[in-house]
Structure 1
Amino acid sequence: MKLDGALYPWRFRLVLILLALMVAAIAWRIVDLHVFDHDFLKGQGDARSMRHIPIPAHRGLITDRNGEPLAVSTPVTTLWGNPKELIGARDQWAALAKALGQDAKALTERLEQLAGREFTYLARGLTPEQGQTVLDLKIPGVYALEEFRRFYPAGEVTAHVLGFTDIDDRGREGMELAFDEWLAGVPGKRQVLKDRRGRLIRDVQVVQNAKAGKTLELSIDLRLQYLAHRELRNAITEVGAKAGTLVMLDVKTGEVLAMVNQPTYNPNNKRNLNPAAMRNRALVDVFEPGSTMKPLSMSAALETGRWKPEDRVEVAPGRLQIGRYTIRDVSRAEGGVLDLTGILIKSSNVGMSKVAFDIGGASIYSLMQRVGFGQDTGLGFPGERVGNLPNHREWRKAETATLSYGYGLSVTAVQLAHAYATLANDGRSVPLALVRQEQQPEGVQVISPSVAKSIQGMLQQVVEAPGGAFRAKVPGYHVAGKSGTARKTSVGAKGYKEKSYRSLFAGFAPTSNPRIAMAVVIDEPSNGTYFGGLISAPVFGRVMAGALRLMNVAPDNLPPPVETKTADKEALGQGERI
């Protein structure tokens, strides 16, 4: 009897041939991969072991106008773990938690939940020494990354201007956010070999070098910032105020020399941070500016040519009825008559209203718009508000009067300081800047130079005349300015809050050649006094005095030198011989 295979010998041969072909193909493929196409195997091997590790790039330096560092990047260590590997080292978790300063139970629960993953952060932002302490434990599955963390040497003094970065070193507030692309560096790449457990075998090469961020030089003068911060903080404590703001500008260049707010915060330690303290009130908070608007309304009156500084207005009996609305003066004028300078010195709402009725609300609106109210300042600061400058098709008496003495509109402290800088700069408005300017900007003439000069002299009298805001005086210098007291509106209801005020003072110095303009706003003083001339003017005077000396501005109000008689040379000689 024959086998079944013997009946069909060609089948057996066919199988042998197929097997032979398969062996030959495999052999050829082996030869091909090892001799002719060895790059394929190399590429596949590299794909499983070659890795690109990012090289962190440190963020650009932020300095003040004199090169003092305001924000620097310091190297820190970030520890990460591979839970799949850490599962095999349970007996070392307690030691790991202790080294990390974490709760052992919480760390255990987290690693157990992530047991199926290959990556989790263990701790970020450690000092290199702290990171090395953990690495020295040599726990399988614990690895380190080099990163950078932002540090702010001035702390709370510059917090509202600079803002801060998040844990990934990206800008989140202030200038850090506004100039994030400028400051952020470009990470590099390093090629390394790792085994299948992710352990580093060999550092191959640097593929791309890290590129550091660019330096940002601000217009802020750190000396003036410290001075303003100290005086504002002391004033807020002394009068029991809710908050406060101070803005200082360079009259000629429009640079912001100092910008401080209270309350503030420490950007180096954001634990238990109060969101209200993070607000840059100088640019975000809007308010009715009160009597600080009267010099601008007076400028509009002088521009029309209908009024001159010596013109007089009847203000008796200190109140003015407009329908159901009554305008009142706080200070009574002797004789019931005031000239235009007297209206500013006495801060007469009645006198200012009568002038405004004559020139019309549209004239006042036009000038206030030209100096920048109701418009963006151009600083590019995140969250900046433009305020509100109302315009009416028909200006009624009540609307005209309230606008003339600073109600019915809203401004920021920066806008208020900018308006006074424009008056100080002979009516020329220059763009504001938070970055140091290499050249003086051109500016735009928005108020007649002759009108601006007249207002400068009138505002000097407001400070220096008897009964004026004498608390704003600076020894050795002529100072010009105007106080204001504004009632606060009620949130969620119509009208104003009872016994709730903002105290304001805005001005510039020295009057002979103005260099610095400043606005001070103190919110809700609670010591029983709230007038701007009593609360904000002293802060203005102290800060302005320090700023003028720090900037080496020559005094313009020194007493004349006292002539002393020189002794006769012969008599002096005889006296010496005696």
Structure 2
Amino acid sequence: MSRQQNKSMQTGAWRLNLVRSGFILIAIGLGWRLIDLQVLNPDFLRYQGDARHLRQVPVVAHRGMLLDRHGEPLAISTPVHSVWLNPQVVAEDEPRLNELANVLAVSVDNLRSRIASNARREFVYVRRHITPELSEQVRALNIRGVALQREYKRYYPTGEVTAHLLGFTNIDDVGQEGLELSYDALLTGVPGLRRMVRDSRGNFVGGGELIRPAKAGENIQLSIDLRLQYLTYHALKSAVERHNASSGSAVIIDVRNGEVLAMVNQPSFNPNNRAGLSSADFRNRAVIDLFEPGSTVKPFTVVSGLRSGLFDEKSIINTHPGVFRVSGHNIRDFRDYGMIDLATLLQKSSNIAASKIALEVEPRQLWQDFANFGFAQESGAYFPGEAMGSLPDPSVWRTLDRATLAYGYGMATSTLQLARAYTVLGNDGILMPVSFVKTSGKVRGKRVFSSDLMRQVRSMMKLSSQPGGTATRAAVSNYTVASKTGTARKAAAGGGYHEDRYQSLFAGIIPADNPRLAMAIMIDDPKGGDYYGGLVAAPVFSEVMTGAMRLLNIAPDDLPDHHLKVAQQ
């Protein structure tokens, strides 16, 4: 063998050994890496696998229910599904996207655009809160990267009847208006957390591991009596339609504890379908809208006159000739009532007599007496957007201001505040905080007037709904009613008042001798002839309270004599 051949063989052997050594080193390296991953440091692969297939998924908490005082559901969160997709899994050219778009009634171009524009994201909603039927159709398509997520949708069984009172939630079940907003913190639950396994198609499988359970929101039992709410809703709606009015509101309060038993507005809306509505449609007029209360405040003027010591129930006021000139302005009565007492003042609703009382009472005292009825103060209900109203400081009053305040001009209040003011008359001089939640135990109020004074004025107010009074259409068979009508001219935007636009008002207490309920009604801008409070608003009170007395099983206090004898037997 030549030297050259020997050298070639040595070179070939060296190369072979080098290759063998390389393979051996690679095998040793792979073996070491395998031992490292499987034995010494197994968490690495577990982490990588978990990162690709495990997700911590929020568990949606159930929102608490709103219930009426008898446990009837007013707002319920029902389980629904929402459709979402993972843009990193779903291909833009996925052939079944057309079918998905058809099922969900969305544009397939929009679907593809959302996939493309969210390529770095793993979660994009396609459509929220779909019906169970659509959920099944989406599930049957079995598209990789498209999944269903369980959520909750708020449902309002009573619809328009409680719309302004309850308000509503947004698509994420967060309170936006009304009591849903007031009590959102209590109603909202605490979300849970679950570790879920995701398959190769991007869908979650199995029950997963519960890391933290969801905590449901609290149920809240409201003071509202759904039966009275329905009665009030239908009576107010009928009156607004009958008189072609712009709007209306009504509130019923339990005089004993300040609980709101009914609150309605017209026009209303369907909280289950708010398409095409604006924010103005959601405004709770009973709490937010302010107006001059007109003659409904005359009982408060009488209270102030009696408290001053300058007047008593036998005092006679001269209203002749039916016109009273104050600071160059004429204050008029409906007709010349001549010489009248305080009870007749309320029965006939004399502006002149009320003004003469107000002009005799010291201004600061008059202001304080009105304030004691809760005007220009928070009601204690903490309803979103609640308006406090206004009661101008007496230091800026002119003589005319005092005279017109006596019959409700120059101040502003809401339907809720007016109803609350009448609870003071009904609760023998105690001002209660207003509550939308059913109370337990005794509620503390503030005594602002003597009980004897309140009973004295209530007795005078009973004449209003009796023959010869302005509120005969508010009468309730077999029950005494202490009430007052009001008819106020609407303020014009540029100042002054409209000549032919009014707000029809009524406020009353029933039964007058043993009060249980106070109700205030405001009907805005009635058209077609009738506009007096006694003709437009008073009948609403009669209709509602006739039903309320029966539903609440309140004993009659004005039975005819032969009925009284039967009852005593």
TM-score normalised by length of structure 2: 0.91
Q: Which residue of 2 aligns with 1:520?
A: 521
Q: Which residue of 1 aligns with 2:6?
A: none
Contact 2:167-2:181 at 8 Å conserved across structures:
yes
Whole-Å Cα distance in 1 between the matches of residues 201 and 218 of structure 2? 38
TM-score normalised by length of structure 1: 0.90
Question: How far off is 1:25 after superposition?
Answer: 8.6
Q: Which residue of 1 aligns with 2:9?
A: none
Q: Which residue of 1 aligns with 2:281?
A: 277
2:364 to 362, 365, 372: 362
Contact 2:474-2:539 at 8 Å conserved across structures:
yes
1:181 to 163, 178, 185: 185
Contact 2:196-2:206 at 8 Å conserved across structures:
yes
1:267 to 264, 267, 271: 271
Deviations 1:90-124 (Å, cap 9, x if unpaired)?
A: 42222111111234454455445545644321111
Structure 1 residue identity aligned to 2:481: V
Structure 2 residue identity aligned to 1:178: S
Structure 2 residue identity aligned to 1:531: Y
Q: What is the 5 A alignment of 1:358-397?
A: 358-393=360-395, 395-397=397-399
Whole-Å Cα distance in 1 between the matches of residues 469 and 213 of structure 2? 68
2:59 to 55, 61, 73: 55
Q: What is the 5 A alignment of 1:125-140?
A: 125-140=129-144
Contact 1:32-1:38 at 8 Å conserved across structures:
yes
Contact 2:87-2:124 at 8 Å conserved across structures:
yes
Contact 1:65-1:220 at 8 Å conserved across structures:
yes
Deviations 1:526-563 (Å, cap 9, x if unpaired)?
A: 01111101110111111111111110000011111179
Whole-Å Cα distance in 2 between the matches of residues 436 and 387 of structure 1? 26
Higher mean C-alpha displacement, 54-63 vs 220-229 = 54-63
Whole-Å Cα distance in 2 between the matches of residues 396 and 321 of structure 1? 14
Whole-Å Cα distance in 2 between the matches of residues 124 and 293 of structure 1? 51
Whole-Å Cα distance in 2 between the matches of residues 476 and 447 of structure 1? 29
Q: Which residue of 1 aligns with 2:490?
A: 488
SS in 2 for 1:414: helix
> 1:36 and 1:107, CA in 2 relative to 1: closer, same or farther beyond 3 A?
closer
Whole-Å Cα distance in 2 between the matches of residues 395 and 76 of structure 1? 60
Deviations 1:198-256 (Å, cap 9, x if unpaired)?
A: 34355441112222111100000000000000000011110000000010010101100
Higher mean C-alpha displacement, 511-520 vs 435-444 = 435-444
2:454 to 445, 452, 455: 452
Q: Which residue of 2 aligns with 1:429?
A: 431
Whole-Å Cα distance in 2 between the matches of residues 309 and 262 of structure 1? 39
> 1:94 and 1:35, CA in 2 relative to 1: closer, same or farther beyond 3 A?
closer
> 1:22 and 1:377, CA in 2 relative to 1: closer, same or farther beyond 3 A?
farther
Q: Which residue of 2 aligns with 1:408?
A: 410
> 1:197 and 1:256, CA in 2 relative to 1: closer, same or farther beyond 3 A?
same
Whole-Å Cα distance in 2 between the matches of residues 465 and 114 of structure 1? 75
Q: Which residue of 2 aligns with 1:194?
A: 198
SS in 2 for 1:561: helix
Contact 1:220-1:257 at 8 Å conserved across structures:
yes
Q: What is the 5 A alignment of 1:29-108?
A: 31-108=35-112
> 1:210 and 1:403, CA in 2 relative to 1: closer, same or farther beyond 3 A?
same
Structure 1 residue identity aligned to 2:85: G
Higher mean C-alpha displacement, 440-449 vs 550-559 = 440-449
Whole-Å Cα distance in 1 between the matches of residues 30 and 364 of structure 2? 94
Q: Does 1:234 align with 2:238?
A: yes
SS in 1 for 2:265: strand
Whole-Å Cα distance in 2 between the matches of residues 310 and 396 of structure 1? 29
Contact 1:66-1:221 at 8 Å conserved across structures:
yes
2:250 to 240, 246, 256: 246
SS in 1 for 2:500: strand
Higher mean C-alpha displacement, 271-280 vs 413-422 = 271-280
> 1:394 and 1:154, CA in 2 relative to 1: closer, same or farther beyond 3 A?
closer
> 1:376 and 1:153, CA in 2 relative to 1: closer, same or farther beyond 3 A?
same
> 1:483 and 1:75, CA in 2 relative to 1: closer, same or farther beyond 3 A?
same
Contact 1:250-1:517 at 8 Å conserved across structures:
yes
Contact 2:144-2:201 at 8 Å conserved across structures:
no
Structure 2 runs not aligned, ≥5 long: 1-22
Alignment RMSD (CA, Å): 2.5
Whole-Å Cα distance in 1 between the matches of residues 29 and 143 of structure 2? 47
2:221 to 214, 217, 221: 217
1:319 to 313, 316, 323: 323
Contact 2:367-2:394 at 8 Å conserved across structures:
no
Q: Which residue of 1 aligns with 2:17?
A: none
Question: How far off is 1:195 after superposition?
Answer: 4.9
Contact 2:146-2:202 at 8 Å conserved across structures:
no
Question: How far off is 1:158 after superposition?
Answer: 0.6
Structure 2 residue identity aligned to 1:224: L
2:166 to 144, 162, 166: 162
Aligned residues: 547
Provide the identity percentage: 45
Structure 1 residue identity aligned to 2:56: H
